A and B are shown apart, each in its own frame.
Chain A
Amino acid sequence: MEEAPHGCPGADSAQAGRGASCQGCPNQRLCASGAGAAPDPAVEEIKEKMKTVKHRILVLSGKGGVGKSTFSAHLAYGLAEDGDTQVALLDIDICGPSIPKIMGLEGEQYMEDNLGVMSVGFLLSSPDDAVIWRGPKKNGMIKQFLRDVDWGDVDYLIVDTPPGTSDEHLSVVQYLAAAHIDGAVILTTPQEVALQDVRKEISFCHKVKLPIIGVVENMSGFICPKCKKESQIFPPTTGGAEAMCQDLKIPLLGKVPLDPLIGKSCDKGQSFFIEAPDSPATAAYKSIIQRLPGAAFDSEYKPREGQREDCGFVADLCLPQVDGSDSSLSPHWSLQPGIMLWLGAINIPQKRP
């Protein structure tokens, strides 16, 4: 089914088929029977397909615009410099597929002999075409990319993701559950506005037991091309990725400075390594890329101390406060206002008359 009813608790939730919003849904009986909780056969099919793929690396960030696609593309370029290494790059940013443009592939799928790319961008006939899809359709596309694309013998499958912690991220983790993901590289920029989203992404990784290979801090300092002095365009007001990584005990894989030539190369669809081989940004990227294969082999999911294992995909929402310090309700309030988030459903207590 492509369109779930509003308030759908999710086919695999305990409330499936039983919630108030399930009434009238054509799949209600199916969900109530527990069939929705059965694992998707695609997971095993994908596991079979992935037998020819040695390593799977996800590139994530809670925050948009920090350089995930740029990093994914250049990771692919970097790994593919060794002609014997087969690299595949999968772009699952369905609404904003940047990879074709960054790699100069608009209109084509072929790259080099040892570097293949797949993106929804290749399936759109016009640069103005918008993919206005809800979650279930996006999930279907991701399933197809993983199951139906003939990846062949691949050493590294790199998956570029959109920002956030939503359908695309859940789906790629779930569909690759049987095939095993080596780990995630998480991109950030130095400022707190980015880090606050990245901490959520790290929390997501812990929730779905996805090993974190490490964090890359992008746009870390800017060298003025005229006077060569350094400025911080995105200041690390709370200590940047370094402080966050120390705090959360996650490896910092490296810092990449902001070089205006990176943006220009991406716009032209050229590898930045070729356009600016002597840039400090190129050196930083290459050093990070060299660390990755070894780091990926060493990464494993490590639960944090005190982390609840039973929280699933529920985020706890705070109850709005009631005035007054005692436990009785003040006469100006109706029923204690509250939002309880269940697996998939939002229950708002009704007001008493």
Chain B
Amino acid sequence: MDESSRNDDMKLELRLAPPGAEQQQQHWGLINGIRTTTKRDESSVLSLGYFPHATITTKGSPSSTTTSSSQAAALPLHNNADKKVFSPSSANTAVPNTSQKRTAPGPVVGWPPIRSFRKNLANSSSSSKPPPPPPEHHNKDYGGGGGKGMFVKINMDGVPIGRKVDLNAYDSYENLSNAVDQLFRGLLAAQRDSSGGGVNKLQEEEKVITGLLDGSGEYTLVYEDNEGDRMLVGDVPWHMFVSTVKRLRVLKSSELSAFTQLLVLFSVGGKQEKDAT
């Protein structure tokens, strides 16, 4: 028993390799063929959430080979190297007729595998959450206050099912904008796909929804206030916004009235001019 368990340990602690290859480094070295000697950065290649493939061109065996020698895949970093070489096959996980673009770094549909309500929770919480400000309660309550949640409905063009956001979870327009991106990115991609002939494919990274506040993106964030007026999000100080907002909408920027589009651009353009001069 001891012998076999020790053998097991050995098997586990030493890298298993084809017979004859004693040291793991040699093993990987043999089939790698590609090793760089650049110095290793302090920071991990994988920080900033960049898709590692973005920085690596695929070399070595083509994806069609399946022999073990093509296991240039997933190689460990050599101690002196920081460049990882991944198997072409793993870089080819996208459908081949799309280019092997790993353009936008950042999150992918459905990753990490947690449900969307946890995701929203996750990204809006921080270890030093400020105490919630007493908000105006918009929800129809029956006696007694509800929890501190200040939920307003938010709908997005092109997505039939609306959602709700808890404005108390954010303290700035930027955080709200990020949250809206998180909320709808996946739904939008799914919606495009289910309608068929969509531009985006399910396995591509979802398009990050940016430029919600400054008119630069495909979508713009607007809201309806307590007087029923539609306003651009971002015009008034945050706490004032929170106290007057009734519901949110994410509209296609192209569908904003020409006048509104000008308004948005002017409010951003002004700042840009200032920076330029």
| A and B from one complex | no
Residue numbers of A with Cβ under 8 A of B are: none
Residue numbers of B with Cβ under 8 A of A are: none
